[in-house]
Structure 1
C-alpha cells in the first residue's frame, strides 16, 4: 500500500509539473507574441482599422455584387460613399465637437467640484484630507482624460504624419479586402496541407462573422443610444447636446465602461448647467435607454452569435485599457469575441 501510494504521489507530481511547464510555455509564447505585435504595430494597426471598417462596409458591397456589379466597381462605389459620409461627419459634427470640447471639459470639472462641495456639507460632512486629495486627483484625471479623448478625436494619433500614413494604408487595405475578400479563403485552402486546409479557413470564417456581428451591432446600438439620449438632453434643455451625443456613440464601442463614462459626463453637465432636478431627469433618461439596450437590443445581438458574458467583457476592457490605453479598450472586446469563436470551433472539433 505504501508503494502504491508513493507511485500515485509521484505520478501526481509528475502530472502537475508537466501541466505547470505547459502553462509557463503558453505564458511565454503569449508574451513573445505580444512583444512581436508591439514591434509590428505600425503594420498591425492599419490592418486592424481596415478590417473593422471592412466589416461595416461589406454588406452594401455584397449587395451590389449579388446584383451583378463587378467586384472592383462595387468596392470603389462603396468606398467613395463611405469617404463622402466620413467627410460630412467631420465637417458637420467633429468640428463643432472639437470647438466645444474645452467647455465640455470645464463642465465635467465644475460638476465634480459641486459634488465635492455637496459631500463636504450635511448630511455627509466629509472633510477628510485623504478624500479631498482623492477627489482632486479625480478632477485632474477626468480633465486629462477628456483632453486625451479630444486629442484622439482630432488627430487620431500622436503624430500627424503617422496618422495620415495609417489612414491611407488602412483605406487601401480596406479596398482590397472589399474587392478580393471572398477569394481569400479558397486561396488559403490551396496553400495549406492536410487538416489545416479545412480547420484554418473554418476558423477564419467564424472569426470574420463574429467580428462583423460585433462591430455592426455596436455601431447600431451606439447610434440608437446617441439618438435617444441626445433627444432627451435636447428636450430637457441641456447644453452641448451634439458633443454629448457624439461621445455616447463613440464610447458605445467600449462596452459597459463607455456607457458609464458617457452617462456620467452627461449628468455632470446637466447638474452644472440646469441644476439638480434636470440632472436627475437626465439620469433617468440614461438609465431608461440603457435598460432598453440591455434588455432589448443586446439580447438580439447576443442571439446572433457574439456570446460573451458581461463579466468577460468587463475584464477584457479593463485588461485592454491597462495594456494599451484607449486603443486597447476599443480592441479588447473584438479580440475577446474572436478568441471565443476560435475556442468554440476547437471545442466542436474535440467533442
Structure 2
C-alpha cells in the first residue's frame, strides 16, 4: 500500500514537471506575443500617468482616457505638421552625410597608429549594422511592424488603461488564495514604480534631445534637429543609448573641424552629467533606484534573448522585476519569534 502511494506521488510530481516544461516551451514560442502584450502594458502606464491629474479631480476614467487619447493624437499630429518635413529632411541628410563623414575621418587618420583600429571598428560597425537591420526587420515582421499588430498594440494600451482592475483581478485569481494579498500589493508597487519611471524617463528624453539639438546647432554641426531627435529617442535605452547617439554627432562634427568634434564631445559629456546627476536622481526619487550593473547586464541579456525589441523593453522589464523580487522575496514578513525578540 505504501509503495503504491509512493508510486502515485512520483507520477504526480513527474506530470507536474512535464506540464511546467511544456508550459515553458509554449511561452518561449509566444515570446513575440508576450513582448507585444508587455509593450501594451507599458503604453497603458503612460496613458495612466497622463490620466492621473484628471482622475484626481474626479473625472470618470472613460472621460479621462478619452481626453488623453485625443490630446496625444492632436499633439502628434501637430508635431508632424509643424516639424515633420524638417525632421524628415534632416534624417535624410544624416543618411547621406554619415558615410562621407566616416570616409573623411579615415582619410585624416591614414598613416597614423589609429588607422588599423579605425578599419577594425568600421568592419565591426558594418557587421553590427547589418545584424541590427536584420533583427529590426524580424521585429517589424513579427511584433508590430504589420498594421494588424500595431493596431493590436494601440487597442491593447487603451483596453489596459480603461479597465486595469479587470486584468489585475484576473491575474490574482491564478495565484494561491493565501498569496493573493501579498501579490496584489507587489503588483500595485510595481505598477506605481513603472509609471513614475516612465514619466521621469520621458521628461529626461525630452530634455536630453533639446540640449543635444541646441548644443549641436550652436557648434554649427549639420542636421542638429535630427541629432537631437536621435539622442532623445535613444535615451530611452539607458547606458547604451546615449553612447550610440553620440557616434553620428561626433562624426558630423569632425567633418567641420577636429576642434568642433572635441567641443561636441565635451557637450555630450556635460549633457550626460546633467542627466546622470540631476535628471535621473529626480526620476529615481519616486520610482526605483536600479543598480547600473544590473541594468547593463539586463540590457545584454534582453538583447541576446529577444533582439532589438528586448533592448527597447529591457529597462521597464528590469524595473518591474526588481520591484517584484523586492516585494515578494526580499521583504519577507518577520517571524513571530523575531518580532518578540525585537520588542524585548
Does the CA contact (< 8 Å) of 2:200 and 2:282 recur in 1?
Answer: no
Does the CA contact (< 8 Å) of 2:106 and 2:115 recur in 1?
Answer: no
Match of 1:294 in 2: 276
Question: In the alignment, is residue 86 of structure 1 matched against residue 76 of structure 2?
Answer: yes
Match of 1:69 in 2: 59
1:262-277 superposed matches below 5 A = 262-272=245-255, 274-277=256-259
Match of 1:344 in 2: 326
Residues 160 and 221 (structure 1), Cα distance of their counterparts in 2 relative to 1, 3 Å cut: closer
RMSD, aligned CA: 3.4
Question: In the alignment, is residue 138 of structure 1 matched against residue 124 of structure 2?
Answer: yes
Aligned partner of residue 169 in structure 1, secondary structure: helix
Unaligned ranges ≥5, structure 1:
1-25
1:9-158 superposed matches below 5 A = 33=24, 35-41=25-31, 43-93=33-83, 96-122=86-112, 124=113, 126=114, 131=117, 134-141=120-127, 144=130, 157-158=140-141
Aligned partner of residue 253 in structure 1, secondary structure: coil
Match of 2:4 in 1: none
Please list the CA deviations of residues 4-47 of structure 1 after superposition, one character each: whole Å capped at 9, or x if unmatched.
xxxxxxxxxxxxxxxxxxxxxx9xx79964x4344324532432
Farther off after superposition, 111-120 or 187-196 = 187-196
Match of 2:289 in 1: 307
Does the CA contact (< 8 Å) of 2:190 and 2:320 recur in 1?
Answer: yes
Please list the CA deviations of residues 71-94 of structure 1 after superposition, one character each: whole Å capped at 9, or x if unmatched.
212111111112222333444455
Match of 1:226 in 2: 209
2:302 to 314, 320, 324: 320
Does the CA contact (< 8 Å) of 2:139 and 2:145 recur in 1?
Answer: no
Does the CA contact (< 8 Å) of 2:39 and 2:313 recur in 1?
Answer: no
The structural deviation recorded for 1:113 is: 3.0
Match of 1:251 in 2: 234
TM-score scaled by structure 2?
0.79
Does the CA contact (< 8 Å) of 2:36 and 2:143 recur in 1?
Answer: no
Aligned partner of residue 243 in structure 1, secondary structure: helix
Residues 157 and 239 (structure 1), Cα distance of their counterparts in 2 relative to 1, 3 Å cut: same
Residues 315 and 192 (structure 1), Cα distance of their counterparts in 2 relative to 1, 3 Å cut: closer
Question: In the alignment, is residue 238 of structure 1 matched against residue 221 of structure 2?
Answer: yes
Residues 288 and 180 (structure 1), Cα distance of their counterparts in 2 relative to 1, 3 Å cut: same
Does the CA contact (< 8 Å) of 1:50 and 1:170 recur in 2?
Answer: yes
1:198 to 178, 181, 184: 181
Aligned equivalents of 1:211, 1:110: Cα separation in 2? 42
Unaligned ranges ≥5, structure 2:
1-16, 335-344
The structural deviation recorded for 1:142 is: 6.4
Match of 2:151 in 1: 168
The structural deviation recorded for 1:58 is: 1.2
Residues 36 and 245 (structure 1), Cα distance of their counterparts in 2 relative to 1, 3 Å cut: farther
Aligned equivalents of 1:30, 1:256: Cα separation in 2? 35
